[in-house]
Structure 1
Amino acid sequence: MEKGKVYLVGAGPGDPKLITVRGQEALKRADVVVYDRLAGPHLLNYARAEAERIYVGKLPDRHTMKQEAINQLLVDLALQGKTVIRLKGGDPTVFGRVGEEAELLKRNGITYEIIPGITSAIAVPAYAGIPVTHRDLASSFSVITGHESPEKLDHSIYWDKVTNATGTLVFLMGVAKIGYISEQLIKHGRTPETPVALVRWGTRAEQRTVAGTLGDIEEKVKEANLQPPAVIVVGDVVKQRETLAWVESKPLFGRRVLVTRARSQASELAARIDELGGEPYEFPVIETRLPEGEEAESAIERALVRAEEYDWVMLTSVNGVDYFFRWLERFGVDIRRFHRAKFAAVGPKTAEALAQRGIRADLLPESYRAESLLDSLADQVAEGQTALLARGNLAREILPQELKKKGVRTVEIDVYETALSVPADIWLPEMLQNGEIHIVTFTSSSTVLNLLESLRRLGVEDPQAALSRCEIACIGPVTARTAEQHGLTPTIVPDEYTIEGLVQALVGKRE
């Protein structure tokens, strides 16, 4: 069997967008991804759905896999002919033990590639508004481990040389030793007034900074109860934070927002949350697909081939538009055959999806739900007309019911199905328990129902209790009512029932 290849990939400091393009491309080719918790879990979304994912960090029933075992695991997988990604936090060559992994691969004749990552030594200070160099303050910097015991630190660090070797000193993994580190730096020439900052979980929603001086930083860290992991920055560049703290000024900074939309639709909401300083956590609990079975297909075909009969074509979602046109293509139905029909759309995004296909909606209600469409149709539909409703299988019945009351012959077709999706996410239950999810967004009633069911399938006995510490944000009153009926308490409901309206409501809640 031909041997596989191993990519030793730096995942960056935590923000999933800080992985390199080359690292992302390698992930897309992976047969197996070997990762630990320092590599942001959302990076796994770049891997193919069928790729195997092996977690080698600590779990409640298992301690962290020893480095020697990880080294051998990489060899064993590659000998099976697989393309293996070893995903490591930060940069794999900066205290990442990549040398040990690469050496064993070399000895076994396995091809490997080291893909650098953005090290936390520069990224974390940058997210706290601290550049590690500055023309007027520091022309060089050092990166030093602070993880060892004082005895080992004294053995591995030449304090008399390191202390003043560069303008900025960056210690990784040294929170517990901050007192000893400060003591040694003062002893070897730094003044007690030297600025110091500790940045915990930089680039993530938990980012927190404690600043002081070498003389008082130990006391301030204790007062703040700052826990690892954190990056320590020593030097005058720390003063830059007073004017350059950029990410903390964003309106959603410090908020991790659960996005439950289908993966194909989540990008718009996730991008806006990210842009505003929040951390989107995608957990798609629904997926849309073509209806299966000959009966469903036949019903759709019968409806579409009668295109010339319709006075109205009504579409209530972007999905409805997308799948409507997929079926037209499948059955070879020319859109021009609907020449006598007017098109009605619920919501600007639905109208936009139509416009992208060269059709301007004849009717777009001011409010983005079925009731508003009915109000807008009141003086436009007439008894004896025929309407085609192209929707999903979970659409509410109010629209066809009211149309029929008005004497409108209504043809309903489910052009797509909404199904339950349960992401293979081992972290979410624990994050909910620890209060690490701050806001949960729901964009439809099905996302409410499916999130509750997904959590049950992930072993959460009481999903409502698990979500009780989160703010519940619903895109509109219908979704909010569903949430209330299932034991949740919506606190954010926008006036405009759109993704942008939901985003603005999230921001308004913080102001």
Structure 2
Amino acid sequence: MCRKKGRVILIGAGPGDKGLITVKGLEYLKQADIVVYDRLVSKDILSLSPEKAEFINVGKVMNHHNIPQPEINKILLNKALEGKTVVRLKGGDPFVFGRGGEELELLSENNIEYEVVPGITSAVSALAYAGIPVTHRDFASSIHFVTGHAKDGLVENIDFKALAASKGTILFYMGVSTLSQLINGLLMAGIDKNTPCAAVENGTRYNMRTLVSTVENMVSDAEKFQLRSPAVIAVGKVCSLGDKFAWYTKSKIFSKQIIVTRPIVSNNILTDRLKSAGAEVIDYPCIKINEIENNSSLLSLIGNLDKYNMLVFASKNSAAYFFKSLMDNEKDSRALSHLLIGALGKSTYDELKKYGICADIVPAEYTFDAFALSFKKADIKGMIAVLEAENDKRLSSKLNDYGFNVTSFNAYNIEYLPLDYTKSVQEYINNGVVAAFTSSAAVHGFVHGSKIEDLSKIKAVCIGKMTYETALNYKMQAYISEKPTIDSLIEKLKEME
């Protein structure tokens, strides 16, 4: 039986910021069985791929091709012949010095279905982040894309006279190692030595650097600057606008190291927002929420709901696991009709609404004490069942302290995870990193997972009073956002030195 052929999709991943991959490119990436990617494709973009996908790194470093181009072409063909959906993920645009055309040759010869999704080319986007428009009515009406790639140490087939006479913006790709040849070629061709020139290194990323100079001084300035790849080099009058229009590197968060803690399965809006503002985010999924197999504690509660006057949910996870178990036992929200319902925090309240439950008691302030005092105010009597983590009994303990008749039930288990980075947490702390916490559980996860003994050097920026107090209890240098929102937390992070 003949195996059905797969297909190959060439996708331009853009310059690095995952927000700059196209919508269509992202849709196709999520369908990939195989992802064949280059060195300049960021981890953030790779993380958008399906978990089941096979990843093949064919990245090239200057003067060293780990996998030769003909071999890359064969990989695409062979994987497609296996019936796979193959995504060829390339930095920038696949048809702008990306050798995308070469990779289609073999596919076309073998009647493999393929598609090309253009990407934002790195030169234009890097300059945009540096505040340099590649065209401007007063300065340039043409753009010239030129490869600075060398063969046997020499740049090839560049018509420097035409470039020098164009009066437009000249964009050199892959030109760091051949910079002196490129600049000398333009000078020999008669370009004005005072023509503005710029280089943007690691464009759109947290470690982006911009050098603005002139053609005459560019080589010596680049040496002092220690210019490194990847970088785009621009020549033209528009480069003079860089100092005026630069915006990305002026962000108060740009290049600031921030550890963002979170549960392992959550989508982190905070991480995405900070990276978009230019921060170097150390994403730390420090908590894993685990279902308890054969949860006798939950089964006991579900079988004895009629004994209780009130049911309290300590978190949205406790609500999710309770209702899963309730429905697994052929029951639904009607089984709670006789109970008062308490919810700690807005996210818990919102989770309960998914099951048709509007909690009777939700504290205005997200703290255990505020919750207990709201019980006092409501004159709660009788037996109270509290659903919480198996290894976090703080809520039931606090309610007991206030004199309520409380029984704790295990809804789930919290696992604390180590930081999976090349540097240890202590190294980041020594460098003055700030840690952002959006929940009390995240503070506990950070402490248990990182295993740092002296927590007094940690600058902890927190959402909510309970998170703040938890950080203080661990002797951290704790700061609290003005409001319990992501926007307010980011504003507080901007204030941190």
Q: Pick the TM interval, shorter chain.
A: 0.7 to 0.9
Aligned to 1:460: none
- What's the % identity of the aligned pairs? 34
Aligned to 1:507: 494
Aligned to 1:344: 342
Change (3 A) 1:446 1:30: farther
Aligned to 2:254: 253
Hey, what's the Cα distance between the residues in 2 that align with 1:138 and 1:44? 36
Question: Of 5, 8, 25, which residue of structure 1 is paired with 2:7?
Answer: 5
Q: How does 1:298-313 map to 2 (within 5 A)?
A: 298-304=296-302, 306-307=304-305, 309-313=307-311
Question: How far does residue 363 in structure 1 lie from its aligned partner after superposition?
Answer: 4.1
Letter aligned with residue 387 of structure 1: I
Question: How far does residue 230 in structure 1 lie from its aligned partner after superposition?
Answer: 1.0
Hey, what's the Cα distance between the residues in 1 that align with 2:336 and 2:493? 41
Question: How far does residue 244 in structure 1 lie from its aligned partner after superposition?
Answer: 2.4
Aligned to 1:167: 168
Letter aligned with residue 101 of structure 2: G
Of the structure 1 ranges 226-235 and 174-183, higher mean CA displacement relative to structure 2 is found in 174-183
Hey, what's the Cα distance between the residues in 1 that align with 2:474 and 2:108? 55
Change (3 A) 1:218 1:23: same
Change (3 A) 1:247 1:218: same
Question: How far does residue 387 in structure 1 lie from its aligned partner after superposition?
Answer: 1.4
Question: How far does residue 118 in structure 1 lie from its aligned partner after superposition?
Answer: 1.0
Q: How does 1:16-415 map to 2 (within 5 A)?
A: 16-57=18-59, 64-148=66-150, 152-153=154-155, 155-165=156-166, 167-255=168-256, 257-274=258-275, 276-278=277-279, 280=281, 282=283, 284-293=285-294, 296=295, 298-304=296-302, 306-307=304-305, 309-335=307-333, 337-339=335-337, 341-354=339-352, 361-365=359-363, 367-378=365-376, 380=378, 385-395=382-392, 397-415=393-411
Question: How far does residue 237 in structure 1 lie from its aligned partner after superposition?
Answer: 1.4
Hey, what's the Cα distance between the residues in 1 that align with 2:194 and 2:458? 41
Hey, what's the Cα distance between the residues in 2 that align with 1:341 and 1:433? 48
Hey, what's the Cα distance between the residues in 2 that align with 1:331 and 1:183? 79
Of the structure 1 ranges 327-336 and 32-41, higher mean CA displacement relative to structure 2 is found in 327-336
Letter aligned with residue 494 of structure 2: V
Letter aligned with residue 43 of structure 2: P
TM-score (ref. length: structure 1): 0.81
Change (3 A) 1:69 1:381: farther
Letter aligned with residue 446 of structure 2: V
TM-score (ref. length: structure 2): 0.83
**8 A contact 2:17–2:276 mirrored in 1:** no
Count how many residue pairs are aligned between Structure 1 and Structure 2. Answer: 483
Hey, what's the Cα distance between the residues in 1 that align with 2:174 and 2:477? 39
Deviation string for 1:80-126 (max 9, x for gaps)?
A: 22221121111111111222222122233322222211110211111
**8 A contact 1:493–1:502 mirrored in 2:** no
**8 A contact 2:426–2:452 mirrored in 1:** no
Question: How far does residue 221 in structure 1 lie from its aligned partner after superposition?
Answer: 1.9
Hey, what's the Cα distance between the residues in 1 that align with 2:257 and 2:90? 22
Of the structure 1 ranges 176-185 and 230-239, higher mean CA displacement relative to structure 2 is found in 176-185
Aligned to 2:422: 429
More helix by share: 1
Hey, what's the Cα distance between the residues in 2 that align with 1:287 and 1:57? 33
Unaligned runs of 5+ in 1: 453-462, 485-489
Hey, what's the Cα distance between the residues in 2 that align with 1:273 and 1:422? 22
Aligned to 1:447: 445
**8 A contact 1:5–1:84 mirrored in 2:** yes
**8 A contact 2:287–2:416 mirrored in 1:** yes
Question: How far does residue 26 in structure 1 lie from its aligned partner after superposition?
Answer: 1.6
Of the structure 1 ranges 243-252 and 166-175, higher mean CA displacement relative to structure 2 is found in 243-252
Deviation string for 1:380-400 (max 9, x for gaps)?
A: 555x622121223332x2332
Unaligned runs of 5+ in 2: none
Letter aligned with residue 301 of structure 2: A
